[in-house]
Structure 1
Amino acid sequence: MSSVDERETGTGAVVARLSRLDQFLPIWIGLAMAAGLLLGRLIPGLNSALEAVTIGGISLPIALGLLIMMYPVLAKVRYDRLDTVAGDRRLLFFSLLLNWIVGPALMFALAWIFLADQPEYRTGLIIVGLARCIAMVIIWNDLACGDREAAAVLVALNSVFQVLAFGLLGWFYLTLLPQWLDLPGAELTVSGLDIAGNVLIFLGIPLLAGFLTRRLGERARGRQWYEARFLPKIGPAALYGLLFTIVILFALQGDAITSRPWDVALIAVPLLAYFAIMWAGSYALGRAAGLNYERTTTLAFTAAGNNFELAIAVAIGTFGVTSGQALAGVVGPLIEVPVLVALVYVSLGLRRRLFPAATSPSALR
């Protein structure tokens, strides 16, 4: 496991200390996306095979990829430090504000601004905005040297609110608010139990596994062995899981994406605006509030990311697999993945300029 010297916190210095896999992450992700799209187009019946078994409404291969992706990062979390995050009321307040008030409202506005005459895509984008991130944000935060403990707490907080608020916000933004504004709306059928199951599987299982691994590993061999010997061995699995998930996800939806390129471009524009505004606004808020680099970064990525797995599952379950709403959900990760990878490097580049007194970031891998 490597760490970054306090005097060398620029992007180049950080990237130089990443593994070869990490250094070329944008290339690997691009290749994974391309491979998935090609597989989906070239192999007849692949979609049916991949969707034959589901967990929490999500294809089994994707589910396994997500679990493999999240476990190593959650095994790195120092759970004995979580109380310091839970006591940071500013961070918790800002996260709830950005995720459950600003984010959905911004996506609603952008969907109507850019897709006013495309009701299916508009509805799909609004659903994406309601699904706050509980999975891949763990990876982006870790790559950007954010606060792992803060990420774990904020993701758990998002999960609770996702169970409680997703259906209510869906009714508000798709039915009630359009009625108030005299706009055409839509009905959203979503089960709170299904969302709770989704959260339990994709956050609860890797979180419990990570906690038990650290607890038992430190008890048996000590913290020094656990962090210096064990974590470096399991660390690369997170990115392998990420790349595998991307391949399978785009293989499942390759035909929909490649057969309707103009529609993909229409959906991509408001998504690009959304990710840029949410990330930059959250980063600026954290900086203005006096949060340190690690927590500012965590705030930005947890606010900008979305739970596209849930959004796709809800869109397909409510409107059908061939619907425009489902396509909008699929385009979400097509745009989110490369944009947030780019923002990892932007965040690292801003570290020295905006946080000159920052301490060295957490060990990377």
Structure 2
Amino acid sequence: MSTTRSPAATPVAQQMSTLDRLLPVWIGLAMVTGLLAGRWVPGIADALDAITVGSISLPIALGLLVMMYPVLAKVRYDELGTVVRDRRTMGLSLVLNWVVGPALMFALAWIFLADLPDYRTGLIIVGLARCIAMVIIWNDLACGDREAAAVLVAINSIFQVLAFGLLGWFYLELLPAWLGLSTTGLDVSPWEIAGSVAVFLGIPLAAGYLSRRIGERRRGRDWYEDTFLPRIGPWALYGLLFTIVVLFALQGDTITSQPLDVARIAVPLLLYFVLMWAGSMLLAHRLGLGYARSTSVAFTAAGNNFELAIAVAIAVFGVTSGQALAGVVGPLIEVPVLVGLIYVSLWSRRFFRTDTAPGVFR
């Protein structure tokens, strides 16, 4: 009898590359580096914040483009049609992202921050900004369906442009008025949101599509996937770490000078990410989506577009506002929590009938 173990039987940690296994260490170091730089390096936050075009931070945009390109270059775009035709995946993702997610964040914000209206409003804005960028990394690390993730973030992008302002009015003005609660206005241009979507998703998506199309046409799929993709794969991690350092350097002084406020904001955020991921994973499992697509649905539903949330909070309420601080605390909690959920997700594969092999940065 052969003693060779199948990938599914091999412990997850042994299947992952060294780069992948140490991901929490790299991310932790990046967060600490950014916080310390923002706190102790004179003028670094002002210098980074000055490099903007409109409401878009060029350093953050650069990091996200480098981060997302390798993953989107791995997508097999000729297989996207199978995802679009999967009504269970599409329907579940839309409901989770645009009905359940904003409603859950609204409820948690009012439960935990009823006496802090600025932070409460900032948290609700975070809930309205559905993820279109970093979720690509979390999905790939957890061995989700790349094609499904690409379709779902594209749909989120369209809905974000069309629905963000409307949902902001509903959750910050109309619904609180119905419930007899205090209201807050949110004046945000759909063109600003469209610009954010175009930069953070449109550019790397176009680059990834063209890379695969040109690479396969000239050298074939085997060369593209076996030679080219492994060369560019690690750059996704480099872009992720650079983005984290820049983001936390921009707000390092604010975060470290208000630890109690950060803790108050962190509690509902922690609950939100865990509840959204776990609930989405269970629902997808019950619908029989299989591990890969369940993972894509879960991480897409749990993640948030912190770039957009922070930009909107700063544009509407000011860079020193409580709303902006709540937006900044979003990735402070989201990054380590969703990294932890990657390992939970990989562990949960034993409960699914279908499986995939891990390793995004190999």
Q: Match of 2:50, SS?
A: coil
1:7 corresponds to? 6
Return the letter of the residue paired with 1:360: T
- C-alpha distance in structure 2 between counterparts of 1:279 and 1:91, whole Å: 15
Q: CA deviation at 1:13?
A: 3.0
2:348 corresponds to? 350
Residue 217 of structure 2 corresponds to residue 211 of structure 1 = no
Q: Match of 1:111, SS?
A: helix
- Residue from 52, 55, 58 that aligns with 2:56: 58
- Residue from 358, 361, 365 that aligns with 2:357: 361
Q: CA deviation at 1:344?
A: 0.2
Residue 291 of structure 2 corresponds to residue 293 of structure 1 = yes
Instruction: Please give the per-residue CA displacement for 1:30-77, whole angstroms capped at 9, x wherever unaligned.
Output: 110000000001111111110112145232111100000000000000
1:185 corresponds to? 183
- C-alpha distance in structure 1 between counterparts of 2:53 and 2:13, whole Å: 36
Instruction: Please give the per-residue CA displacement for 1:15-40, whole angstroms capped at 9, x wherever unaligned.
Output: 32333221100011011000000000
- Residue from 264, 267, 292 that aligns with 2:265: 267
Query: Which runs of 5 or more residues in structure 1 are unaligned?
Result: none
Query: Which runs of 5 or more residues in structure 2 are unaligned?
Result: none
- C-alpha distance in structure 1 between counterparts of 2:98 and 2:129, whole Å: 9
1:125 corresponds to? 123
Instruction: Please give the per-residue CA displacement for 1:155-183, whole angstroms capped at 9, x wherever unaligned.
Output: 00000000000000000000111111110
Where do residues 187-202 of structure 1 align in structure 2 (5 Å cutoff)? 187-202=185-200
Return the letter of the residue paired with 1:9: A
- C-alpha distance in structure 2 between counterparts of 1:97 and 1:49, whole Å: 40
Q: CA deviation at 1:342?
A: 0.2
- Residue from 125, 141, 147 that aligns with 1:143: 141
- Residue from 242, 253, 257 that aligns with 1:244: 242
- C-alpha distance in structure 1 between counterparts of 2:282 and 2:94, whole Å: 16
1:319 corresponds to? 317
2:278 corresponds to? 280
- Residue from 155, 158, 174 that aligns with 1:157: 155
- C-alpha distance in structure 2 between counterparts of 1:152 and 1:75, whole Å: 11
Q: CA deviation at 1:363?
A: 5.8
CA contact (8 A) 1:308 1:333 kept: yes
- C-alpha distance in structure 1 between counterparts of 2:117 and 2:220, whole Å: 57
Residue 305 of structure 2 corresponds to residue 307 of structure 1 = yes
Return the letter of the residue paired with 1:205: I
CA contact (8 A) 1:62 1:245 kept: yes
Q: 17-26 or 128-137, which moves further after superposition? A: 17-26
CA contact (8 A) 1:56 1:198 kept: no
Q: CA deviation at 1:237?
A: 0.2
Return the letter of the residue paired with 2:143: C
Q: In structure 2, do the counterparts of structure 1 residues 208 and 165 end up closer, same or farther at CA, with 3 Å as the change threshold?
A: same
2:80 corresponds to? 82
2:219 corresponds to? 221
- With normalisation by structure 1, the TM-score equals 0.96
CA RMSD of aligned residues (A): 1.3
Q: Match of 1:51, SS?
A: helix
